[in-house]
Amino acid sequence: MRKTITSAATWIIVLANVLFYLLTLAVPAPILIEGFNGLLLGAAVAIVISWTPAALGAVRDGAGDGGQQLNLAIWATWTAIMVQRLWAIAYRWVGAPSWMMSSYMNAFVIYTVLVAGILYLTAAGTADGRVPIRNWTTVLVSVAAGALVAGVMIGKFILGAHPPA
């Protein structure tokens, strides 16, 4: 526990959250959203560029071990975040048209993060292309739980109660 308390990464997270709270006391939410959208887009672009060589190496080498899977997962997640931020900025820029909210682009971003999430879940202990059974069990349980939530939401949507735009 002592290491956690003195960890620089722990303090960065804690201080960042305190700073966010303080910002909410002085800055309206729409301004924070616009500002953080831009900052997150900048970070996402830098991360995608930084991780592209590792992701390409993983693809070239067959992504047969957990580290290579994580390289792909990190790259895919941040590419999806980058696309999502670009889409969100464009959405707000052009006046928030409803067609953009219901676009396949949003589903694609969610799907990409889902696929990356499966790579995260299967990475631990994966070697020589073999994923441990416990990892597949975790994937199965998480997908089943997610499918339950998705089924409820789709059922609600089909019955006419549209989700908020």
For the segment 137-159, what is each residue's pLDDT rounded down to a tens digit?
999 999 999 999 999 988 888 77
Q: What is the pTM of this model?
A: 0.84
For the chain, the average pLDDT equals 92
Q: pLDDT at position 98, please?
A: 93
Across the range 72-79, mean pLDDT stands at 98
- Domain spans, the chain: 2-131
What confidence tens digit (pLDDT) does each residue in 36-53 have?
999 999 999 999 999 999
Measured distance CA(114)–CA(120) in Å, rounded: 10
Q: Please check whether residue 79 is in contact with residue 56, taking contact to mean a CB–CB distance below 8 angstroms.
A: no
